[in-house]
Each structure stands twice: as C-alpha cells, then as structure tokens.
Amino acid sequence: MGDCRIAVLGCRGRMGRMLVREIGAAAGCAVAAATETPGDAAVGRDAGAVAGLDPLGVTVVDDAGAAAAASDVLVDFTVPAAAAGHAAAAAAAGAALVIGTTGLEPAQTAALEAAAERVPVVYAPNMSLGVNLLFAVTEQVAQALGDDWDIEIVEMHHKHKADAPSGTALGFGRAAAKGRGVALEDAADRGRDGVTGARRRGDIGFAVLRGGDVAGEHTVVFATDSERVELTHKAGSRAIFARGAVRAARWAAGRAQRGQPGLYDMADVLGLR
C-alpha cells in the first residue's frame, strides 16, 4: 500500500502550514495537493515553500475539486463558508474528508451529512487526543453527579479567534448535556451581563476569554456546596491539532478504501466507542 495521499485545504493559514509540516513528517503520508482561495498569493507556489519547508513538488491550486481528485482524503481547517463546497468536492471525487473548522451553521452541517452518505467524513471541534479523552470523562462525570452540581465551561483562545464559545467548549457542553440526558440547546447559558438573577438549576454555563496567542485552554467546572471538581486541558501548540488531524486522515482514508461512508468524530478514530 502506498502513502496516504492528503490534500491540505487553506494551506497558507496557520493550521494549513502546520498540517503540511506534520504530514511531511508522518510516516506513510504525503501531501498530494494543496489549495488556497482564488487570487491568494500562495496559488501557483510550491506547498512546501509556503509552509517553510523544502519544495514538495506540489503546486498550490484554487480548485478544491482538483485537489480532491488527486487525493485519498481532504483536510479542512478553513472557514465555515467553505465547508459545503469542500464537502461536495470530496463526495464527488470519492475522497474522505476531515474537517476541524468550527462555527458551522446548520446548513453547513447538513452539507457534511449529505457528503457522509457517500464518503467518510470526520467532523470534530477539536482533534487533540487529550481533549477527546476529556470529552468522554466529562460525560461520565456529568452522568455520575446530580443536577445539584452546577456545570460551568471556561475557555480561552488567542485574540484572532472569530467564533465564541469555541467549538471545543461546545463539545464539552454537549458531552455534559449527554451525560445528564438533556439537550445542550435547552440547558446552555452562553452569556451573562447585568442583573441576571440567581443561576438556574441544571444550566450549563459558558465563559469566554480572548487574548494573546493562547492556542486553547478549556476547563469544565462541576461545583456544589463545599466541593468543586475541575477538568482542564491546555494546548501548548496547534501542532497537537495537526497531529490529530493526520491520524484522522489515515483512519478516514482506510474507511474510504473499505467503502464505509458515514459521519464520524474523533471518538470513532480513537476507538472510544
């Protein structure tokens, strides 16, 4: 079996450049294609040079369809507006898709679900191994503790992050809600300001911090009278997300070879189910 051929969508972004470097360093993987938006300065350049590496012999293009045709799997950490087009390109080419873009709207999520009827799609708000293990722990703790324990989720990211709460924070919220047997939409309190009154029993609260170059910090707080449990994950570098994405790409490519389409997440990739 040859190398897993991976296309990096949005290769000039922070995560895109890191993905190119991680794929280049991973045994059994190769950057097969790379894209950027039409008119971007990276288009026409070598993807390795864009990422600060030696040339890879892969020219950056502005056509996701062409990238999909040359690859086993596409990796997308771009913007929500591009998600539907990238999903359609993957499905048309029969290529798997790994997407870590956060802040998707319902219509964009629906596009992933449509693509997943034809190809494997791994969609995860965070591809860190540690975070995904903590998702599972959060669900277990929420299930074990009664709703007299308040749940608050605190996250901090760099000043350039556009969406809030982070996709990872919402992932922790969904895990906590699942543990309690409720829908997050019914329990979430995503912002407090002014005279809000007492906290409602059963709420899952979110607090958002932004500043500096923080790669990502998340804490799930379980608090009751005279007692508190905190689950915390701190990311020291975005490289952990790129490494997780490469692992997901290899897993998804294997599913595609076996003809196993579907919408998956990192719990599937890591065998946590």
Residues with active-site annotation: 157, 161
Peptide bond into 165 cis (omega under 30): yes
Pairing of strands 227-234, 262-264: unpaired
Q: Which residues contact 247 (CB under 8 A, 6 or more apart)?
A: 127, 269
Count of all residues that appear for the chain in the document: 273
Backbone angles phi, psi at 159, to 5 degrees: -70, -10
d(CA 53, CA 55): 6
In 3-state terms, what secondary structure has residue 114?
helix
In 3-state terms, what secondary structure has residue 270?
coil
In 3-state terms, what secondary structure has residue 140?
helix
